[in-house]
Every structure is written in structure tokens, then in C-alpha cells.
């Protein structure tokens, strides 16, 4: 025998929630907490199934929800994470406190897909639509992966070349101007008219702007790309992380994921410092969570 059924759907209300229902559900959960969704509607006096109550709470009533439009920075981060995680909306949402997977999924389907289309990138794999014919991966990096060094699990990691090239760029990039006489609501609308190289350059510069400095990208707490590049030639220089990775190798510039795991606890667990303090090779201005370790290979390198 299994458990009792969650609910027989006969006589249960469906469709949009009323204010009264919202009030009942919210006050019940705030007073009693959530123990079993199956019992929530009964105890709260609602003619809804537990699943519906759960959805309403998670997507709409939760007090810690962040309402309002997505910023361009948030959109960029969603695109970046999507290139990394695919349609795993709950994983993506976990990077945005207060945002729900449903909200991000909706935003992706209604807005970001169009944005990628304008950039002539496939929403499925972020590849140029001409090359990928909508789904087939090629050896070319996704656009944002190209800029930031993030790759999907099955793809090759980018070498240091991306960062080195950016760091060694002497002249500031030419400012990209919209065409005269054309009205653009968003910056990426005119970006879509540019070549891919120009778009990549522009996005790269946007990230620099986000970091609040002039073309030098931050790589974590107090760690500048220029420093990283120069220190790469001098591995003895200590970096900006307070990682408790353990031994005297703490001062080295980069280590393999495997050695980090070994050094930290010897049990394969992530080290004791916060995820923000760790950066995968080739990853520019990206915060990793421990979930991202799933996608790392023992040979991959970490800055710290």
C-alpha cells in the first residue's frame, strides 16, 4: 500500500486565486509554517489542491519575492547561466534571490529569446543561427561563453587567451554608435546590426562597465585581471582569496579542481571559502556556486 492520495480533484477550485484565498493561504503559512502541502488547503480552509497552494505560495505569496522588471545585468546573467545550465530554470533561479524559476522561465520565453534572435543567436544553444541550424552544437563557443569563458559541460574550456587578449588590449574599444535616424528601444537592437566580433567586444566592455572600472575586469574580491595576468607569470604572488585550502600551496596562482578538493578536506568537498572567492579558468566576472563544481573536471584550473 502506498500513501493516501494527495487530493481527489473533484470539487476543487481552479483558475486565478482570489484575494480572500491568498489571505487564507498566507496567514496559514505564516502562522503554521509548511509541513505537508497535502494538508495545507484543508487546514487553511481552501478548496484547492496542495500542489496549487504550493505553486501560489512559491510564485506569488512568498514574502521574500523580488517583484519588478529584470535589469539588463540580470538578463545578461540569465543568458550566461543558460549557456551553462540549459533549461534548468530552478538552478538558474537559485542564482537570483527573490526570483522564481517560473518568472525566469517566462522572462526567457517572452523577452530574452527575442533578444538572442536579434543577436542572431539560437535560444537553444546560443550559437549563430546561420551555423547551428537551430540546434546542432558546433565547435564554436556560445556568444556569452566566448566573452566570459563559460562553457557547457560537454564543451571544451576556453584557454586563458580570451582574458589575455582583453588584458593586453592597449586602446580602448571604439564606441559603438546606433545608426542615425533609427530609433532603438534597447541597446542590443542596434548591436544586432553589428558583426559578431563587434557584439562580443561591446558585451565585454559592458561587463567592464558593470564592474565599475575602465576596461579592466574584476576577477573576484579585489582581484584585477591585470593582476591576474601579471601574476600568472609569477605564481608565488599571493592572491586575494581567504580560502582555507590548507597548505603552503595556498599562495599559488591556480590549482586543479582535484587538488583543491584534496587540499581542502581530503573528502572531495568544496573548500571553506565562499563560492565568490573561486573562479574557473577563463571565467571573467562570474560567480560560481558549489553546484557549478558538477561541471568541472579534475584538470580544470581555479584562480584564488
Binding site for DNA (CB under 7 A): 1-7, 14-17, 36-38, 50-52, 54-56, 59-60, 87-91, 101-103, 105-107, 109-111
> What does the block give as the cell for 213?
572600472
Three-state secondary-structure class, residue 290: helix
Total number of residues shown for the chain: 304
Q: Which is nearer to DNA, 185 or 247 (CB)?
A: 185
Q: Which is nearer to DNA, 3 or 180 (CB)?
A: 3
Q: Which is nearer to DNA, 188 or 207 (CB)?
A: 188
Supply the minimum distance, in Å, between the C-beta of residue 260 and DNA: 26
Number of CB atoms found within 10 A of residue 266's CB: 9
Supply the minimum distance, in Å, between the C-beta of residue 267 and DNA: 21
| DSSP conformation letters of 229-263 | HHHHT-TTS--S------SGGGGSSEEEHHHHHHH
Dist CA 39 CA 54 (whole Å): 11
Interacting residues of 15 by C-beta distance below 8 A, sequence separation 6+? none
Dist CA 46 CA 12 (whole Å): 9
Supply the minimum distance, in Å, between the C-beta of residue 11 and DNA: 13
Q: Which is nearer to DNA, 37 or 96 (CB)?
A: 37
In terms of Cα–Cα distance, which of 233, 217, 236 is closest to 225?
A: 217
Q: Which is nearer to DNA, 5 or 33 (CB)?
A: 5
Supply the minimum distance, in Å, between the C-beta of residue 34 and DNA: 8
Supply the minimum distance, in Å, between the C-beta of residue 120 and DNA: 17
Supply the minimum distance, in Å, between the C-beta of residue 98 and DNA: 13
> What does the block give as the cell for 20?
480572500
Biggest CA-to-CA distance, the chain: 72
Q: Which is nearer to DNA, 2 or 63 (CB)?
A: 2
Interacting residues of 83 by C-beta distance below 8 A, sequence separation 6+? 126, 142, 144, 145, 150, 151, 152
Amino acid at each position: 500500500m502506498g500513501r493516501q492520495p494527495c487530493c481527489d480533484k473533484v470539487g476543487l477550485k481552479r483558475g486565478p486565486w482570489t484575494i480572500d484565498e491568498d489571505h487564507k493561504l498566507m496567514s496559514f503559512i505564516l502562522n503554521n509554517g509548511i509541513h505537508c502541502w497535502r494538508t495545507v488547503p484543508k487546514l487553511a480552509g481552501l478548496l484547492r489542491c496542495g500542489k496549487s497552494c504550493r505553486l501560489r505560495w512559491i510564485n506569488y505569496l512568498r514574502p521574500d519575492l523580488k517583484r519588478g522588471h529584470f535589469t539588463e545585468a540580470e538578463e545578461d546573467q540569465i543568458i550566461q547561466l543558460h549557456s551553462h545550465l540549459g533549461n534548468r530554470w530552478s538552478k538558474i533561479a537559485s542564482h537570483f534571490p527573490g526570483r522564481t524559476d517560473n518568472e525566469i522561465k517566462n522572462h526567457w520565453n517572452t523577452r530574452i529569446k527575442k533578444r538572442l534572435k536579434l543577436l542572431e543567436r539560437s535560444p537553444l544553444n546560443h550559437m549563430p543561427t546561420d551555423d547551428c541550424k537551430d540546434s546542432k552544437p558546433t565547435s564554436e563557443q556560445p556568444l556569452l561563453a566566448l566573452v566570459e569563458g563559460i562553457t557547457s559541460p560537454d564543451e571544451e574550456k576556453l584557454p586563458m587567451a580570451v582574458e589575455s587578449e582583453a588584458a593586453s588590449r592597449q586602446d580602448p574599444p571604439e564606441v559603438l554608435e546606433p545608426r542615425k535616424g533609427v530609433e532603438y528601444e534597447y541597446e542590443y537592437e542596434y548591436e544586432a546590426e553589428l558583426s559578431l566580433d563587434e557584439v562580443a567586444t561591446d558585451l565585454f566592455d559592458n561587463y567592464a562597465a558593470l564592474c565599475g572600472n575602465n576596461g579592466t575586469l574584476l576577477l573576484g574580491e579585489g582581484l584585477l585581471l591585470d593582476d591576474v595576468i601579471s601574476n600568472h607569470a609569477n605564481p608565488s604572488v599571493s592572491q586575494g582569496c581567504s580560502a582555507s585550502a590548507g597548505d603552503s600551496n595556498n599562495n599559488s596562482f591556480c590549482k586543479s579542481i582535484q587538488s583543491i578538493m584534496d587540499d581542502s578536506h581530503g573528502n572531495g568537498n568544496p573548500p571553506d571559502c565562499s563560492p565568490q572567492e573561486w573562479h574557473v579558468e577563463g571565467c571573467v566576472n562570474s560567480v560560481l556556486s558549489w553546484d557549478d563544481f558538477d561541471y568541472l573536471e579534475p584538470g580544470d584550473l581555479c584562480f584564488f
